[in-house]
Each structure stands twice: as C-alpha cells, then as structure tokens.
A and B are shown apart, each in its own frame.
Chain A
C-alpha cells in the first residue's frame, strides 16, 4: 500500500488537473477543481511549517546539548526562531507588540535585523561575480579568448562610459552589440535551453503521472 497509494494519488491528481485545465473555471465544476487543489496545496504547505520548526529546533538543540563546536550559534538560532515566531503568533488584541503589524516585535526584528542582513547577502553577489569572472574570463584557449572578448564588449555596451567609448568607433556600435550578441546569439541559446527544459519537465511529469518514474519516493 505504501508503494501503490502515492502512485495512484499522482495519477488521479495529474489526470484530473490536466482535464480541468481545458474547462471554464467560472462556469464548470471540473474547471474549478484545479484552483481548489491549489488552495489545498497552500493549506498543506502552511501546516507543514511545524515540521520545519521541529527540525531546526532538534538539530540545534542537539548541538547545544552535546556542546559541539559552534554551539553558541545554535543557541542563538533557537532563541531567534522562538523570539520571531511566538510574538507573531499571539493575537494583536492582547498587546500591540504581538502579531505582525507595524510596531510589533516581529516587525521590528524583521525590518531592523532580517531585511538588512538579507540585503547584505545579496549585495555580496557583486564581489562573487568579480571573482567568478576572473576565473572564467582567462584567455587559456581560443574559446575562452572568444568568451573574454565577447564579455568585454557586452560589458562596455552596458555602462554609460563604455557606450560612449564604443560610439567613438561607430555611432551604432552599442546597438549592434545588443542586436547581434544579446538578442541574437545569447537569446537563441537561452530559448533553446528553455524549450528543452520545458519538454524535459513535461516528460518527467508524464513519467510521474503514469507511474513510470517513482524515484521521487526514493524507490526504483
């Protein structure tokens, strides 16, 4: 039963949702099934948050208990999780510090700690791009030299000073780079990958719906 039930569920859900796609959602019952299932998916995902809480608490609690290397950080994680979660779950009617509205503990921690830290992580991307570009754009072979030259030309065409420099050679040079490199070679390759990925995703969906692929259950 443990093997068969998920396969039957995947098959029935897949076929019903596919059929539902072709029917009017406003006027037919079968057309409404798709959106109905999506609401259920959202509810299940919301309920599953408890699993995450249990996991993060257990992993970090064990680290603290065994005094493993870096255990103070784990203690900080546990405190942070509960300091964020508990006041946000309590009703606002008890105190303006509860809930998620402006002025609440959750809001204060979110805007003053979480958001700036996440923005910092994102900002670090610039440095990572520089280090990755340094490795990728080394002229070791014909192909990498071609890549280096293309990257230099594209980067020049994308910044005001570079655009001005390129226009010294020909007034339309930055536009040609955009048309031929970015909207020509680059876009056609991207579209090729997107078409292949879309067909791959459809093929995998079909394999799952028909029960051919069961690896998502750790079987086969």
Chain B
C-alpha cells in the first residue's frame, strides 16, 4: 500500500495553512476586495475536523485495530445473486445510476461495479452494463476490463457488455426496460443516482422475475426501490459499499471517521431539541447570532 499517513497529514496541513493565508499577495489580485471568504470558515472548520477524524481512524486501522462494521444485507446478497444468474445461465444487469461521472453517486456505483465484476468474472456469468453518459461508459469499460484481468480471466471480458444507450433520461429507461424484457437478466443491480425512472426500472425488473439489489442516496426514490426490489441500500450505505466489500482496514477507517461526525451531529440535534423544549432560547439565539456573523462577514 503506497498510502503514507504522515506525508498525507503534512500535505493536508499545508493545504489548510495555504487556505488560511488570505493575506498572501500571491492570491490577491485587487487589494480592496477580500481574498479569503470568511463566511466559509464554518465549512473549513468542518473539513478540518472531518479530515482529522477520518485520518485518525485510518491510522488506527493501519496499526491493526479491528473496526466493527454492521452487516449490510444487500451487499452480502451480491454473491448469492450472481450465483443465481450463473445457475440460470442468464446475465447480470448492472446500472451505475443515470448521473454523469462528476457526481459522487456515480463514482460510488462504478466503484462497486469493480467488485461485482470480479465475482461475475470468476463465475463466468454474462454481464450487461448500460451507461447514460459516454464518460461513464469509458470508466465502466476500464473498470470491468481491469476486474476481469484481476480475476485471471482477461479473455472473458466482452467490450460490448458495457454499452451506451441514450443520453435522455426516459429514452435510457425505455432501452434498459427493453433489455430486461428481451434478455431477461436473472439479477438486476441498480447502484448510483436514480430519479423518476427508479420505479419504471425496478417494476420492470420485478415483472421479469429478476432478483434485484438497489441503492441510492436520493431519499425520494428509496420507497420505490424498497417496494420493488429484494434488497435496498439506503443513503450512506451506497458510499460505504466499496469499503464494505473490500474488507480493507484502511477503507473501513474512513467509515469510522464519518460515523464519529454523525454522532456529533446527532448530539447537536438532541441538545438543540432539549434546549428548545426547556425554553433555553438564549443559548439557541447565541448560535443564531454566531451564524449571522458568518453570513455578514
């Protein structure tokens, strides 16, 4: 592993110092205008705290400390779902969402695709990956090819298994639904960013008798996936999936850091609720004034 914690910490600290050095003439072009945006200090504080938490747990994991991860049924079912497709002699359909490659949902989707493709390559099961954007197509082709190579089956990869369908949302949906009904994949995996087409895809897959695993960070689409799919990854589970499937301690450390910040958020919400119930508006007003200062600064 080429990851060096000390070097990374050093670079991060340098970045923070560089960011804070608003007076530096290197960054300012006009003296009258403020170079550093003080109303974004709160974001800077959050980034520093978050980086520290993630790096601390990554360091702990690197030292060999075992970090607990709760079970995610949808991810445990991936291997079983691929096995089912192998037994039935039918393909696995994997959609990394309908967003472009500059969205985190898509990056999460294509990250998991690598792991899933390795299992698919080992079982020698046919794979279909429809892409809505050419950039996603290129990334998916590269990932799938690499996964086949890592699984020791470079000849098993068919470049046409990753295919571009259409750039328009519902044209893409219609094309995927057509694949589901014609090629009858035994397993459908929808992991990424999905919107109005989520139910159209999931219901068609359900009608085709496929086992379905879905995951998205869009809360409005989750009920549709829960209603029509066998397993659903909710919100953050999608981003945790690659770390979960990899079982690598370094990646698990990142998840722990995120959990710590979540606990802090929950604590702030609970304290806020209790204070408002106890009518301690003076404390809440303090935060309002503090927040207003950032907005005005």
- Chain A positions within 8 Å of B, measured between CB atoms, are 4, 7, 11, 15, 18-19, 21-24, 26-31, 41, 44-45, 48-52, 55-56, 58-59, 62, 69-70, 114, 117-119, 121-122, 124-125, 128-129, 131-133, 135-136, 189-190, 193-197, 199-208, 210-213, 215-220
With A215-B111, A220-B248 in contact, do A201 and B104 touch (Cβ < 8 Å)?
yes
Say yes or no for B250: interface residue by CB 8 A criterion.
yes
State in angstroms the CA–CA spacing of A50 and B47 once bound together.
38
CB distance from A6 to the nearest CB of B (A): 10
State in angstroms the CA–CA spacing of A124 and B54 once bound together.
45
26 A-B contacts, Cβ less than 8 Å apart? A18-B15, A24-B33, A24-B34, A24-B36, A26-B33, A48-B133, A51-B134, A51-B135, A55-B164, A114-B171, A117-B170, A132-B199, A132-B224, A136-B223, A193-B234, A195-B265, A199-B236, A199-B258, A204-B108, A208-B107, A213-B111, A213-B243, A218-B146, A218-B147, A219-B150, A220-B246
Complex partner residue of A125 from B28, B171, B196, CB under 8 angstroms: B196
State in angstroms the CA–CA spacing of A58 and B137 once bound together.
14
Cβ–Cβ < 8 Å partners of A119 in chain B: 170
Those of B1-49 within 8 Å (CB) of chain A: 2-3, 8, 11-12, 15, 18-19, 22, 27-30, 33-37, 40, 43-44, 47
Find the A residue at minimum CB distance from B225.
Answer: A132
Residue pair B239, A197 in contact (C-beta under 8 Å): yes
Those of B150-168 within 8 Å (CB) of chain A: 150, 160, 163-165, 167-168
Residue pair B217, A201 in contact (C-beta under 8 Å): yes
Complex partner residue of B254 from A31, A70, A212, A217, CB under 8 angstroms: A212
Say yes or no for B143: interface residue by CB 8 A criterion.
yes
Residue pair A196, B142 in contact (C-beta under 8 Å): no
With A55-B163, A207-B254 in contact, do A128 and B134 touch (Cβ < 8 Å)?
no
CB distance from A178 to the nearest CB of B (A): 17
Those of B167-186 within 8 Å (CB) of chain A: 167-171, 173-174, 182
Complex partner residue of A30 from B27, B102, B150, CB under 8 angstroms: B27
Which bracket fits the contact residues of B? 35 or more
Residue pair B50, A196 in contact (C-beta under 8 Å): no
Cβ–Cβ < 8 Å partners of A213 in chain B: 111, 242-243, 251, 254
User: Which of B11, B135, B167, B202 is the most central at the interface, judged by chain A CB atoms within 10 Å of its CB?
Assistant: B135
Cβ–Cβ < 8 Å partners of A208 in chain B: 107
Find the A residue at minimum CB distance from B216.
Answer: A197
Residue pair B246, A117 in contact (C-beta under 8 Å): no
Residue pair A58, B168 in contact (C-beta under 8 Å): no
CB distance from A191 to the nearest CB of B (A): 9
State in angstroms the CA–CA spacing of A182 and B222 once bound together.
16
Cβ–Cβ < 8 Å partners of A193 in chain B: 217, 219, 222, 234-236
Cβ–Cβ < 8 Å partners of B196 in chain A: 122, 125
CB distance from A155 to the nearest CB of B (A): 13
Say yes or no for B139: interface residue by CB 8 A criterion.
yes
Residue pair A121, B35 in contact (C-beta under 8 Å): no
Residue pair A45, B135 in contact (C-beta under 8 Å): yes
State in angstroms the CA–CA spacing of A196 and B269 once bound together.
14
Binding site of A, secondary structure by majority: helix, strand, loop or mixed?
helix
State in angstroms the CA–CA spacing of A168 and B196 once bound together.
35
Cβ–Cβ < 8 Å partners of A195 in chain B: 262, 265
Say yes or no for B284: interface residue by CB 8 A criterion.
no
With A196-B236, A202-B50, A218-B144 in contact, do A48 and B258 touch (Cβ < 8 Å)?
no
State in angstroms the CA–CA spacing of A114 and B234 once bound together.
33
Cβ–Cβ < 8 Å partners of B239 in chain A: 197, 200-201, 203-204
Find the A residue at minimum CB distance from B203.
Answer: A128
Cβ–Cβ < 8 Å partners of B253 in chain A: 212
CB distance from A194 to the nearest CB of B (A): 6
Complex partner residue of B3 from A41, A48, A136, A211, CB under 8 angstroms: A211
CB distance from A41 to the nearest CB of B (A): 6
Convert B197-237 into 0s and 1s, putting 1 for each residue whose CB lies closer than 8 angstroms to a CB of A: 00110110000000000000101101110111000001111
Residue pair B164, A56 in contact (C-beta under 8 Å): yes
CB distance from A132 to the nearest CB of B (A): 4
Residue pair B246, A52 in contact (C-beta under 8 Å): no
User: Which of A22, A62, A121, A220 is the most central at the interface, judged by chain B CB atoms within 10 Å of its CB?
Assistant: A22
CB distance from B16 to the nearest CB of A (A): 9
Say yes or no for B97: interface residue by CB 8 A criterion.
no
With A27-B30, A45-B135, A62-B160 in contact, do A56 and B35 touch (Cβ < 8 Å)?
no
With A55-B163, A210-B3, A217-B143 in contact, do A118 and B171 touch (Cβ < 8 Å)?
yes
Residue pair A51, B164 in contact (C-beta under 8 Å): yes
Say yes or no for B192: interface residue by CB 8 A criterion.
no
